[in-house]
Amino acid sequence: MRRARYRFRTRPWGSVSLQTFQTCLAQLIVDPDYRDRVRSLGAAALAADLTERERARLFRIAADPGVDINRTLHKGFRLGKLRAMLPLTCQLLGSARLAREVSAFWIQRPASSFYFIPEALEFCKFLAGRGLRVQYLDEVLAYERVTLEIEKACSTPATAQKIRFEHDPRILLATLARGRRPRAVPRRPSLAICRQNAAGGIQWQLFEGDLDGAGTTGLPETSPPALPPT
């Protein structure tokens, strides 16, 4: 019995890779502007070195209503990461402002990682450069950013970091942790120092008075009760 021969076609050297096709596919989901361009312009909006079959597949996918569902799921996943990593900042911003800032953040910084902490740190950096007129935001954002940076170090020894509070951190952070918006928090200059403990966890030390940490009243080297546990 004669065996059938199969000839496998291979791409010519220098043609598009599977990774490039997958990158275009992912962009259709995470970038609505790109998806709309593909829908309206067709092949003209796609990479020139894609094959005709690849262009046809991407055009069909762009026109599929299911892409909108995937887009919604993707946005929910990214928002969930930020809410999980930056709960106090999100609470302080409020739903409407948070939605606006997150949308602007996603336009400037398309998703590049599935990891939670890098995405949250990028959002911290983004918010810090926005110049938002939100009372207490600088203090709360610094608190959560430093916490994440220490956590990101994992087993690697992390350098202790300082946060300067202008308002009473006990009241400010505890109010947000209870899901409330802080109002008229008393001014109480303080210095909070965050470092890793021997077990690799996070510990806080809070000083009141001199913001250089000298001649201050120091609290025990544990998380102060008003600082949400990390």
* Mean pLDDT computed over every residue of the chain: 78
Query: Which residue type, as a one-letter code, is found at position 202?
Result: I
- Model confidence at 221: pLDDT above 60: no
- Model confidence at 12: pLDDT above 60: no
CA–CA distance, 48 with 32 (Å, rounded to integer): 20
Length of the chain: 230
Q: Which two tokens stand for residue 89?
A: 């900042």
Name the pTM for this structure.
0.68
Q: How many CB atoms lie within 10 A of CB 47?
A: 14
Q: How confident is the model at residue 158 (pLDDT cuts 50, 70, 90)?
A: low
Q: How confident is the model at residue 6 (pLDDT cuts 50, 70, 90)?
A: very low
- Out of 106-115, 127-136, 195-204, least confident range: 106-115
Better-scored residue on pLDDT, 205 or 32: 205
CA–CA distance, 93 with 225 (Å, rounded to integer): 23
Picking from 188, 80, 98, 180, the residue whose alpha carbon sits closest to that of residue 139 is: 188
Average pLDDT value for residue range 103-118? 78
| Neighbouring residues of 170: CB distance < 8 A, sequence distance ≥ 6 | 224, 225, 226, 227
- Model confidence at 216: pLDDT above 60: no
The percentage of the chain sitting over the pLDDT mark of 90, rounded to a whole number, equals 36
CA–CA distance, 206 with 164 (Å, rounded to integer): 10
pLDDT at 107: 81
pLDDT at 17: 58
pLDDT at 111: 67
- Model confidence at 229: pLDDT above 60: no
pLDDT at 112: 61
- Model confidence at 40: pLDDT above 50: yes
Long-range contacts of 130-136 (CB under 8 A, 24+ apart): 130/101, 132/97, 132/101, 134/92, 134/93, 134/97, 135/182, 136/92, 136/167, 136/172, 136/182, 136/185
pLDDT at 11: 46
- Model confidence at 39: pLDDT above 90: no
pLDDT at 101: 94
Q: How confident is the model at residue 154 (pLDDT cuts 50, 70, 90)?
A: low
